[in-house]
Amino acid sequence: MIKFENKHFKKFDFSDSQIKKYLNSAGKDLNIARQSGVEEVKFQFTYNALIKLGIALIACYGYKVSSRHGHHIKIIEKISEILNNENVLIYGNQMRKTRNTELYDGGIMITKKQADEYYDFTAKLFKKTHEDFFKNRLNALL
């Protein structure tokens, strides 16, 4: 059973259409990432898509993420737990640390290889999650 700590998650009754909005937004971000020829843009939109996918997954369990220090870490942890995929924790935290370094520590160069690798991982995760999780849990969303 998946436990949602009160410090980071609040009980909330989401409608299917609200969850669908999160998924559509994540898909839109992935599409922007795919089309971008700028590594930093590709990376940022890929990271946003991962977080939005997590928000949608968490919403399926009837919880809303509290916006507070460390909430992206908790979202990544819950994606990994819900999908039973340790690679989400590994890649997600690498992405989060890279984003934080880029945002708060004066920036770094995102290489094409990094941007492509993170995009490929997130796009495959998004597709698999749609096929396996949402098809079984929320047929109305597809």
Residue 1 in any domain: the answer is no
Residue 113 in any domain: the answer is yes
Residue 2 in any domain: the answer is no
The answer to whether 49 and 29 have CB atoms below 8 angstroms apart is yes
Residue 105 in any domain: the answer is yes
Q: What pLDDT does residue 79 have?
A: 95
CA 63 to chain centre: 15
The answer to whether 4 and 74 have CB atoms below 8 angstroms apart is no
Residue 94 in any domain: the answer is yes
Domain ranges, residue 85: 9-136
Residue 141 in any domain: the answer is no
Read off the pTM.
0.88
Q: What pLDDT does residue 135 have?
A: 66
Under-70 pLDDT residues of the chain = 102-105, 107, 135-142
SS3 call for 65: strand
Q: What does R_g of the chain's alpha carbons equal in angstroms?
A: 15
Residue 64 in any domain: the answer is yes
Residue 142 in any domain: the answer is no
**Averaged pLDDT of the chain:** 88
Count of domains observed in the chain: 1
Phi/psi at 63 (nearest 5 deg)? -130, 150
CATH of residue 62's domain is 1.20.120
Q: Which residues contact 52 (CB under 8 A, 6 or more apart)?
A: 22, 23, 25, 26, 29
